[in-house]
Structure 1
Amino acid sequence: MDVTTLYSIGELSRRTGLSVRTIRFYSDSGVVAPTTRSPAGYRLYDLDALLRLELLCTLRELGMNLATIRRVLDRELSVAEVAAAHADAMDVQIRVLRLRQSVLRAAARSGSDPEEINLMYRLTRLSGEERRRLIDDFVEGTFGTTDADAAAVAMVRSATPDLPDDPSSEQIAAWMELAELVGDEDFRARMRRTAGRQAAGRGLGIESDAGEELMDVTRRKVAAAMESGVDPLSDRAAPVIDDLIHRFAEAFARTPDTQFRNWMARQFEEAHDPLVDRYWRLVWLVNGWQVVPNLLPVYPWLIQALRKDRDA
């Protein structure tokens, strides 16, 4: 054999960047065996051994374990098969890292304590099936297993919150709030009352009694205030709400005083619970759905504005 085609273990070390000790370990384990030995007993390696060692280094840097690499080098597995499997595994690792990043950002934004961070991470790491089971328990606990509220159940299930594999910090915060909300018995009772009416499409008595024209004016005025960013509890909301109170008082032949104002709030609250509206907003956020201002319910804003002076 032409000794010029053979490399000493020191030469392999220089060419690959691996230490002599590491190469000796791979040699002793049979992954890259020496081709022959010199008259003095030193290991010598041919070009094939050098190429095997270079491939081994590349695969190790890509995160493959030694047992898998050995099967590739022995041609028991193709590089393509191993690469595909490791690419899939890296997808999982990337999703986990993104999830951790989002949790940390959400924790930094909210100033969470260690217990909250732990709970946040555990809840977001639930599998898709486990998250669906959480919502299924909420639906069954809220509406029961009968067909009495079939329309309401269908409405809630059609918008099941589904946290993506790489959620944003905002989606994580929304999912945390949802997870807490759906386990609250008071909220379940409020959802049961409100969703049944919404699903059945039943209108409010105040809507039918006020008439279509006044209700249309109400929706347009409140929607315009919402789109302009008017806080319902601010002074900017006062002209809008005062105008509507006088319009409704005239329609119902009532005095536009605090008592009438509170009566209006109670009437609109029958079908639009602010906490239930909050649930739907959270669902939109978790699912990554676009929130279109024109489609937002106007009654929560109206109720807040009406309730502003409830202690007056």
Structure 2
Amino acid sequence: MASPRDGYTIGQLSRMSGLPVKTIRFYSDAGVLPERERTSAGYRVYGEDDLARLELVRALRDIGVDLATIRSLGERDLKQVLMLHLRTVETQLKNLQRTRAVLRATLDKGDPSEGDLRRLNTLGRLGAAERAALLDSFVAEVGGGNRAREQWLTGLREAMVPDLPAEPTSRQLDAWLELVELMADEDYRASLRRQSEEFWEKQEREGPTDLERWRDDNQVVADTVLAAIEDGVDPASPEAVPVLEKVITLLAGMHGTEDGPEHRRALARAYKEHDPRATRQWELAAIITGAPWPHPQTAAHDWIGKALRAHT
């Protein structure tokens, strides 16, 4: 028998590792086993490192690690490979749990419908990579090349299409499918791009707004209106006027403009032209995550829109 110093033939390596010659040759050709010296007759010569590598390869293949990942072991340590495989397995489990939930919901209802098949088809097509691509294209198209707006949208990206829970309900599945279709809708994207276009162009010209301050100011607006809602102030009532006046002044400051007829007309027009699909988008996200709806910010801006229509 050859010694480690002399090297092993492929047949010897096969007997020692328990793997067929054909499999070892395949691993060698695929680059899983590094290229070794050859004899003058052209036969590969293997060493102890190859025997240890084969044992590792067999263990990794038994738990489902693909050859491309195993091949990269030269660039990554074993812990990185196992962590990468764990993430892959967890993603596969999540997808299987989701599919199981759809199948159960379908069978509970009786005969499958075209809508049920659509659910399965969409869920099968939209994995993590496809979801990321959907969000990439959404941010790019709605941003329209405006860096300030793209930055704002990027900050909202993970909340826009949340992951489904491991055991989604039929309502959550339907909401997720509707949300995916809405986010891909070209007309909806164009509508969002048109909204507040003047504001975002100003941000691009004059430099981006301090986003932290913007959020703080927006919270002050929301808190002002939410206090009125809690007090039972109807947006169409005379009692709403002083609240609305305060809000209009605050919004003028946020937009860097003077309060006056032009600002008020622009504000009323913006709320009037607000695309209801934008509200629906966040409602669907809330259904998926199980968050309360309406969101306080949504309730506040709905009140402002009604008050503007009633008093301007």
Asked if Structure 1 and Structure 2 have the same fold, meaning a TM-score greater than 0.5 normalized by the shorter chain, the answer is no
Q: Which entry has the higher C-alpha Rg, 1 or 2?
A: 1
TM bracket (short chain): 0.3 to 0.5
Instruction: Give the TM-score normalised by structure 2.
Output: 0.45
